Amino acid sequence: MKKVGIALLGLGVVGSGTYRILQAKKEKIERDYGVSIEVKKVLEKDLSKAEALGIDLNKVSCDINNVLNDDSISVVAEFFGGTEPARTFLVQCLERGKSVVTSNKELFSKHWPDLENAARKTGAGIYFEASCGGGVPIIRALHDSMQGNDVLEIKGIVNGTTNYILSNMTDNGSDYDATLKEAQRLGYAEANPSADVDGYDSTYKLSILSSLSFNKRVPYTSIYREGISKVTKEDIKFGKEFGMTVKLLAISKNVNGKIEAHVYPAFIPNDHPLAKVGGAFNGIYVVGDNVGELMFYGKGAGDLPTGSAIVSDIVTAATKESHRRYPFILEEAAQDFNDDFISEYFIRLSAKDESGVLSTITGIFGKAGISIDAMVQKAGSNGRATIAFVTQKTTELTFRKALEELQSASCISEVSSVIRVEK
């Protein structure tokens, strides 16, 4: 039987989950895939983590040279997170001909070209199934099952933390700050939640998914990004009246050869498959020109779900004779982005409760050629009313102009929210 030595860089939540799966599935992997995988080295400063897993402490150190200089190791799985020292270590491993496996979407979206360049020197492999969607096998599906298609669109809920927060706000009518605090208390959100709630994590993942789908380098810096902190329970309540649910979406589309890549909170109709993706789950909706609609769903984080994707990559890296190359990632980044994209909008505003307000709103939008799809008005206190409405499709620039006019109309006290609608 083929024997493959591996190293684990870090024994955090996912590193430990990976080790446990490798132990539990050792015989199955040997029987079904014809390879015996042995953990030869572990990089971890907290020895108690290794002890808790029953790992021989002679294998554990903090020195990457112990991994680099061990010729029996041909696959290295990285669990550090962040860009350094992960980038340096993985480049060194690839330059020594060791294939690398990572769930590190920040590293991957920022430094994929560095990894590809290093891998080309030796023919080593780069595996990143766990970087997007945790345990959901979306990378392999895009790689191996879409050859007969052009991908037209990806719409994903790829961040479990924000989906947990928005789902709870929707189910319980609670506001953002209280829900975030509760999510932090329960361990769903980090003490510093910015990477998740401000949309960075989703942007990294969308950069990877879009590059793979369109075979073009789509840098995360070219992706428009908005987080969820401005979504209010009032918006969610009005959205329900229009039959819509709010989600943080990572969207990329190939519109007549131009790429549109955005991360923003958006309302989707309650009957869209993504509307049913609740709690900390992930869902990725893909449209191919021949296959039509596809929906991937599952746990986007956690020790065993993410470990499941990592083990799948380790076994693949260990059994392949030659590894996939990514020529497009070394080319210049795609320049053909569409900055005047078409969208529908939800607007919530506060206005004087008097005659002529609705005609002012419809007049401004009518003049701009933007049709209004649905409108709800609620009388409030102090002679004010709250009005919420949804537009039909319009370009971003046309919408922004109409919005400016709306904000300066004397009968409008405040435009409280603008949230895109994805149908």
Catalytic residues: 205
Query: Cβ 20 to ligand HSE, closest distance in Å?
Result: 18
**CA angle (422 as vertex; 343, 341 as ends), nearest 5:** 25
Query: Cβ 166 to ligand HSE, closest distance in Å?
Result: 12
Residue number, 9 or 39, with CB nearest to ligand HSE = 9
Only segment of 110-118, 157-165, 322-330, 394-402 that touches ligand HSE (CB under 6 A):
157-165
**CA angle (55 as vertex; 91, 104 as ends), nearest 5:** 30
Residue from 18, 159, 213, 254 binding ligand HSE (CB under 6 A): 159
Give me the 78-117 binding string for ligand HSE, x by CB under 6 A, dash otherwise. ----------------------------------------
Cα(57)–Cα(42) distance, rounded to whole angstroms?
9
Only segment of 53-61, 110-118, 158-166, 392-400 that touches ligand HSE (CB under 6 A):
158-166
Query: Cβ 17 to ligand HSE, closest distance in Å?
Result: 13
Place of tokens 């990592």: 310
Query: Cβ 162 to ligand HSE, closest distance in Å?
Result: 7
Residue number, 129 or 196, with CB nearest to ligand HSE = 196
Only segment of 94-102, 155-163, 207-215, 256-264 that touches ligand HSE (CB under 6 A):
155-163
Residue number, 301 or 368, with CB nearest to ligand HSE = 301
254 binds ligand HSE (CB under 6 A): no
Interactions with ligand HSE, residue window 188-227 (CB under 6 A)? 196, 201
Interactions with ligand HSE, residue window 272-301 (CB under 6 A)? 300-301
Residue number, 159 or 391, with CB nearest to ligand HSE = 159
Query: Cβ 160 to ligand HSE, closest distance in Å?
Result: 4
Give me the 297-336 binding string for ligand HSE, x by CB under 6 A, dash otherwise. ---xx-----------------------------------
Number of residues that bind ligand HSE (CB under 6 A): 8
| Exposure string for 397-413, b = 16+ CB within 10 A, e = fewer | eebebbbeebeebeebe
Query: Cβ 240 to ligand HSE, closest distance in Å?
Result: 25
Residue number, 87 or 96, with CB nearest to ligand HSE = 87
Interhelix angle for 160-172 vs 233-241, to 10°?
70
125 binds ligand HSE (CB under 6 A): no
* Backbone phi and psi for residue 34, each to the nearest 5 degrees, phi listed first: 65, 30
Cα(50)–Cα(281) distance, rounded to whole angstroms?
29
161 binds ligand HSE (CB under 6 A): yes
Binding site for ligand HSE (CB under 6 A): 134, 159-161, 196, 201, 300-301
